[in-house]
Amino acid sequence: MIRHTVVFTLKHPLQSLETKRFLHDAKKILTGIKGVTHFEQLRQVSPKNDYQFGFSMEFADQAAYTRYNEHPDHVAFVRDRWIPEVEKFLEIDYVPLGFG
């Protein structure tokens, strides 16, 4: 299993229609890609960093994650929405540890 996470800040004001539209469209597009499970949109509240939002999703294995990354809907979302509308981001992908 791979848990794909990203924290990010949008170029739009926090409570704007553009922000709401971005989050709505992201959920619709990304959850429509086969292999995406446990998709969550999160609001970042820690004072330890200044990111606004987070996405988290899981994939059964590396092959599913690779298919997601290469899927035309994901590629188009990154090109048409993510790059123009996201100010900054940090992406982290996790796999469970095999002990403990």
Q: pTM here?
A: 0.90
The pLDDT value given to residue 99: 78
CATH number of this structure's domain 7-94, picked from the four choices 3.30.70.100, 3.30.470.10, 3.30.2290.10, 3.40.50.720: 3.30.70.100
- Residue identified by tokens 């095999």 is 98
pLDDT at 100: 65
The domain limits of the chain are 7-94
Strand stretches in 1-100, DSSP E = 2-10, 37-43, 53-59, 86-94
Model pLDDT for residues 16-69, shown as the tens digit of each residue: 999 999 999 999 999 999 999 999 999 999 999 999 999 999 999 999 999 999
What pLDDT is recorded for position 83? 98
Give SS3 for 91.
Answer: strand
